[in-house]
Amino acid sequence: MEQKPVTAIIVGAGHRAFVYSKLALTNPEMLKIVGVADPDPIRRKKAMDMFGFPEENCFEDADALSRVPKFADTIINGTMDHQHIETSIPLLKKGYDMLLEKPFATNEKEMRELVDCVRENGNKVMICHVLRYTPFYLSIKERVAAGEIGDIINIQTSEHVSYHHLSTSYVRGKWANSDVCHTSMLLAKCCHDLDMMMWMMSETKPVRICSFGSKFQFKPENAPKEAGTRCLVDCPLVDTCRYSAKRLYLDQPDRWAFYIWDKLEGIENPTDEDRINLLKGDSNYGKCIYKCDNNVVDHQSVLINFASGATGTHNMVGGSSKPLRRIHIVGTKGEIYGDFEESKFFVSKIHPTKTDEKTVEEVDLRVTGDMVGAYGGHGGGDERLAEDFVKFIRGEKPSLACTSIFDSVAGHLCVYLADKSREENGMPQDVIL
């Protein structure tokens, strides 16, 4: 008997929610979008036009949606991080299952409140740890799970956040000020990476953690003497500063369009003049990079001790010339090391002979088949995650990458405790799961 598509309502019609919802367009037999809740009428109309549901299924927020009878199987929750509790709990209590964007909570208290709600109501909740679904990380996990490198002794992960990404998201953008977004940079950017570490180390649990980091680069005292306050208004360095809004945004208007030009969504075909006026006005993206109200760190290092005696480190560095994610896992039989952007990793195994001491296998996923680029975003992971969510809801066997909310607790808790350690000058923190 052919199964009906899983029905879903978008709550928070932002970029990520639309990315996952597009499965309804490419695979309508799997997913059907039947409603939307978002305070922005432009976003509501966009969802309605894209997916073809009636206006009566449009709501201003999750609370309004929770007051009508349940009319779908699931919620795709793409609201901002600090809104996850208020938008999730009423709908979970209503009986909806949920695909919830990461990080699913901004602090430990919220995390435990949400997990308790899911446990009490018996919901199926999957967290959007999309990097698990990329061919690169999934292939490495399969090798680790098969025992190819033995017991893990140490795992090292690193993420370099490009200068234009750092500027757009964490200095001028939505995640620049933790007092406003309620999210640290480590949580917003690297809960992927800490989740990845917990996934690779799933045979043991984290027990202690410490961390250091700071806002190193983008602060008023580092501004050039002649710098103005708004790039296109009063700054003589507009054509030379590497962080000039003109050079980052006007000269490359499509790179971060969804964030930079969000206030122009109501204009059908915005012009260069529209963009210039926006940056000259009150947009944060037009401010001098050194004179914003950002308070999150731009680099941070984390050290984790596991119950098995293994150790793990994660280094996040913002402002690099290019984006980079790398992983290196050392086990008792060998090691795996690779570069996510290159979509290539190496499996090196101990093999003592008279001529060599190891064997090395190169795994290049750009060459070996349909993996990288088949679906687009996040190295091929976005649509695979949406497909696995449908399997998860239907009760079918999900993939090795599937992350229920319960699987996501360890990684989130490590981020909260790392930030607490950083705030306390590196004081070690006990991890209590």
Average pLDDT, the chain: 94
What pTM value is reported for the model?
0.91
Contact 136, 151 (CB under 8 A): no
**Average confidence (pLDDT) over 48-68:** 97
From first CA to last CA, the distance across the chain in angstroms is 42
What would the two tokens of residue 322 be? 């290019």
pLDDT at residue 1 tops 90: no
What is the structure's pLDDT at 280?
Answer: 97
Count of CB atoms situated within 10 Å of the CB of 351: 12
pLDDT at residue 377 tops 70: no
For residue 375, give the DSSP letter: S
The position carrying tokens 């003592």 is: 352
Whole-number percent of the chain with pLDDT over 90? 90
What is the structure's pLDDT at 84?
Answer: 96
pLDDT at residue 240 tops 50: yes
Contact 278, 272 (CB under 8 A): no
Rounded distance, CA 336 to CA 349, Å?
Answer: 9
Count of CB atoms situated within 10 Å of the CB of 341: 13
- Point out the least confidently predicted range of 36-45, 62-71, 357-366: 357-366
**Average confidence (pLDDT) over 45-54:** 97
Contact 298, 166 (CB under 8 A): yes
**Average confidence (pLDDT) over 57-78:** 98
What is the structure's pLDDT at 266?
Answer: 81
pLDDT in tens, 271-308: 999 999 999 999 999 999 999 999 999 999 999 999 99
What is the structure's pLDDT at 379?
Answer: 56
What is the structure's pLDDT at 371?
Answer: 40
pLDDT at residue 375 tops 50: no
Torsional class of 369: left (φ above 0), alpha (ψ -120 to 50), beta (otherwise): left
What is the structure's pLDDT at 268?
Answer: 84
**Average confidence (pLDDT) over 375-399:** 83
From edge to edge, which strands make up the β-sheet containing 58-59?
58-59, 31-37, 6-11, 74-77, 97-100, 125-127
**Average confidence (pLDDT) over 52-60:** 97
pLDDT in tens, 389-427: 999 999 999 899 999 999 999 999 999 999 999 999 999
For residue 430, what are the β-bridge partners?
208
